[in-house]
């Protein structure tokens, strides 16, 4: 049985480290909700609407090939996809990276994902149907987006060979307060959420460089301190 001194030492270590990590609940309660208007949430939660806004500001975005909102639109899916060998299928309002399929090539009548999985037309139709039905957006009606695939620089491939690396910059009242780079270093068919990947290792097989760390600017803007 571990001694009380050892357990107390571990408890003090945990308490000390707590101040270095901003939890998701604390982030939402003290920063996201107080500093953002509720009316803006639908825009931020919809990739198509966000694309329209940032494109007007001159920010490059992947080209949207198709957007499906209703099941009957899928009757043209075969003709729509016939001309493309690589693309990405994703929900417009999905959460945590769920529902994303990255197609990198074609073999006969099938499409091949970056992980080597073969998808028939029927497989893709069913997946898009699930997206519209709300499987990846908390059961709410959603849109399925098919857009161009972003291919990262060969130098970044050396760091993140099994997935697209990205940089996240978080602003609070127009000031940068947090930044992180996400690197996928273990192959997986579907990516998991950003929160699950913020540690160096986890059960999903993905890793990222850093968690959301405490910052003096966040202390200044907290509404509960």
| Spatial distance between the Cα atoms of 195 and 41, rounded to a whole number of angstroms | 19
Rg (CA), the chain: 21
The whole-angstrom separation of Cα 207 and Cα 28 is 23
- DSSP symbols for 196-209: TTSSSS-TTS-EES
Scan for tokens 């690396």, then name that residue: 165
**Half-sphere exposure for 115 (CA within 13 Å, toward CB):** 15
Strand 175-183 to strand 207-208: parallel, antiparallel, or no bridges (unpaired)? Answer: antiparallel
Q: What is the pLDDT along the chain (225 residues), one digit of tens a residue?
A: 567 777 777 777 777 776 677 778 888 898 888 988 888 888 888 999 999 999 999 999 999 999 999 999 999 999 999 999 999 999 999 877 789 999 999 999 999 998 889 999 999 999 999 999 999 987 789 999 999 999 888 888 888 877 788 888 888 888 888 888 887 765 544 444 343 333 333 333 333 333 333 444 444 444 444
pLDDT for the residue 185: 62
The whole-number pLDDT of residue 61 equals 93
C-beta neighbour count of 22 within 10 angstroms: 20
Give pLDDT, residue 55.
92
Q: List Cβ neighbours of 126 (8 Å cut-off, separation of 6 or more).
A: none
Q: Which domains does the chain have, with CATH numbers?
A: 19-36+153-221 (no CATH), 63-147 (3.30.1490)
Task: Identify the pLDDT of residue 104.
Answer: 92
Q: Considering all CA atoms of the chain, what is the largest pairwise distance in Å, rounded to the nearest integer?
A: 69
C-alpha 113/C-alpha 191 separation (Å) is 13
CB atoms within 10 A of CB 183: 18
Q: Do 87 and 146 contact (CB within 8 A), yes or no? A: yes
Six-digit token string for 38 = 């509720």
């Amino acid at each position: 049985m571990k001694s009380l001194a050892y357990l107390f030492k571990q408890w003090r270590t945990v308490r000390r480290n707590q101040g270095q990590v901003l939890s998701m609940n604390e982030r939402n309660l003290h920063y996201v909700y107080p500093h953002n208007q509720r009316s803006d949430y639908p825009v931020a939660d919809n990739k198509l609407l966000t694309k329209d806004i940032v494109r007007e500001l001159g920010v490059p975005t992947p080209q949207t090939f198709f957007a499906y909102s209703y099941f009957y639109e899928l009757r043209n899916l075969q003709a729509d996809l016939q001309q493309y060998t690589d693309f990405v299928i994703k929900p417009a309002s999905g959460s945590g990276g769920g529902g994303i399929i990255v197609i990198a090539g074609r073999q006969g009548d099938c499409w091949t994902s970056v992980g080597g999985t073969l998808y028939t037309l029927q497989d893709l139709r069913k997946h898009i149907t699930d997206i519209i039905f709300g499987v990846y957006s908390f059961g709410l009606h959603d849109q399925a987006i098919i857009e161009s695939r972003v291919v990262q620089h060969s130098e970044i491939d050396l760091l993140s060979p099994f997935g697209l690396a990205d940089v996240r910059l978080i602003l609070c009242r127009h000031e940068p307060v947090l930044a992180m780079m996400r690197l996928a270093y273990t192959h997986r068919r579907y990516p998991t959420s950003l929160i699950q990947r913020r540690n160096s290792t986890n059960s999903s097989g993905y890793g990222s460089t850093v968690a959301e760390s405490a910052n003096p600017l966040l202390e200044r803007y907290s509404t509960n301190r």
